[in-house]
Amino acid sequence: MSKYPLKIERVVEFEGVSTTGYYSKGHHDKNEFIEAVKGDYEYEGNINDVRHLYIKVSPSPTGGLLINYRKEPCRGSFPATVIEI
């Protein structure tokens, strides 16, 4: 289904205070994705919240990274399976 391995990444707010979501590069099966998130993290989510989007990562003016979710691919983006909290 994808050329990316299913590897769950946690998205955190500035300075890592709280989790705002999870993603994995590639458009993965939604059931496999949510089961992987539940297995790696203490998350009880709903499969209806899992989406296939594109992510573009940009440097932040304050030194971190900005993650921008997009419905369509654009220059510099990659496909991702995403769940936002």
The Cα 66–Cα 53 span in angstroms is 16
pTM for this model (two decimals): 0.89
pLDDT in tens, the chain (85 residues): 458 999 999 998 877 778 999 999 999 999 999 999 999 998 888 999 999 999 999 998 887 888 999 999 999 999 999 999 8
Q: Is residue 1 part of a domain?
A: no
- CA 40, CA 9: separation in Å to the nearest integer? 10
2 in any annotated domain: no
- Cβ atoms of 35 and 50 closer than 8 Å: no
Number of other CB atoms surrounding residue 54 within 10 Å: 18
Establish if 3 belongs to a structural domain. Answer: no
Residue 63 lies in a domain: yes
- With respect to residue 52, please indicate whether it lies within any of the assigned structural domains: yes
Task: Note down the domain range covering 54.
Answer: 9-84
Total count of domains within the chain: 1
Token pair of 50 as six digits: 């899992």
